[in-house]
Amino acid sequence: MTGLDTLLADIETLVCCESPSEDHASVARSAEVVAAIGRRLLGVEPEFVRTDGCTHVRWRFGSGPARVLLLGHHDTVWPLGSLTTHPFSVQDGVLRGPGCFDMKAGVVMALHAAAALEDRAGLTILVTGDEEIGSPRSRPLIEEEARGCAATFVLEASGDGGALKCRRKGVSLYRIEITGRAAHAGLEPEKGINAGIEVAHQILAVAGLADGERGTTVVPTALSAGTTTNTVPAAAGVAVDVRAWDAAEQERVDRAVRSLQPVVAGARIRIEGGINRPPLEASASSGLFELAGKLAADLGLEPLTSASVGGASDGNFTGGLGVPTLDGLGAVGGGAHAEAEHVLVAELPRRTALLTALTKTVLGGGND
């Protein structure tokens, strides 16, 4: 097989091992597949790192300190059985399958790029299993591996048109829980404390914290209230998704959410969650993006473009440590988390070659 044929075969193998984040058994099976691909390509056994039941895969090369971290995840948002309705396929230069773009193709690209290196000393590869749910179990591991590195290269899917993701919003996640008191909605509603009405007040309050001029979004999402149609709701809750370009805005919203007060007499509020990921500042990516542009030109690739995006990744954690971080180095395509998820086959070897060149250059001290 050609290099591209092998790359495609490995992507198919990984995509066909379904791995929804919350299913630890499925994620463990996917980790075994990642390990098998890497073992064949790299000739080295990986470490399986398990945190609270979630399985991550790690390779460390050389006896000295790590210099480059290749970072990805093998969990997806797709539930078990998705391959039945969205089977793996390659047709007319387009690869499809659940999780192919976000980001199983990127994981395979990282392993192939590392395999192309003559000297891997100073390289760490970390493939985590819980990124799609906010990395609650892998964040300490990610930060441990990134700390002290000269660069982190994140194999998340590219932006539109293949853009590298050089700036990401920070993310805060909250759950506002309301406690009221049940009563018969027809006979004696006045004896109840309506948690549904209270959560409505709180939804309006948090939505008002958004700041369009600063790009801060505060979005109430999953909502629940009540039990039956003839009962005053005794409990209600709403999830809130916050995105902001800078830490000061995250902190402003955090203070405001934590200071929410009930409006309905007798209702009680409990706030869960908080700041999840810091912003990935443009300054964390600028030097590596410039280097990537030079290497792309040397490889005869099209000029690179950059993007600022609202979605977060584990690159937010590494950038937040002050580690130079370049994101979106994975597959070129689109449709993440959706039926249209796809990867452009022609870009796979080009992006893999770019990743190899970047890793080799930084391992050799080329960006100091």
Active site residues: 75, 131
DSSP H/E element including 277: strand 268-277
User: CA–CA distance from 92 to each of 7, 332, 344 (Å)?
Assistant: 17, 15, 9
**CB pairs under 8 A, 24+ apart, for 251-254?**
251/275, 252/209, 253/172, 253/209, 253/216, 253/218, 254/172
* Radius of gyration (C-alpha) of the chain in whole angstroms: 23
The residue among 145, 173, 96 whose CA lies nearest residue 338 is 96
The residue among 249, 246, 235 whose CA lies nearest residue 175 is 235
Q: Which residue has the tokens 């993310």?
A: 171
Determine the distance from the C-alpha atom of residue 230 to the mean position of all C-alpha atoms in its chain, rounded to a whole number. 42
Residue 191 burial class via C-beta count within 10 angstroms: exposed 0-12, middle 13-18, buried 19 and up: exposed
Residue 282 burial class via C-beta count within 10 angstroms: exposed 0-12, middle 13-18, buried 19 and up: middle
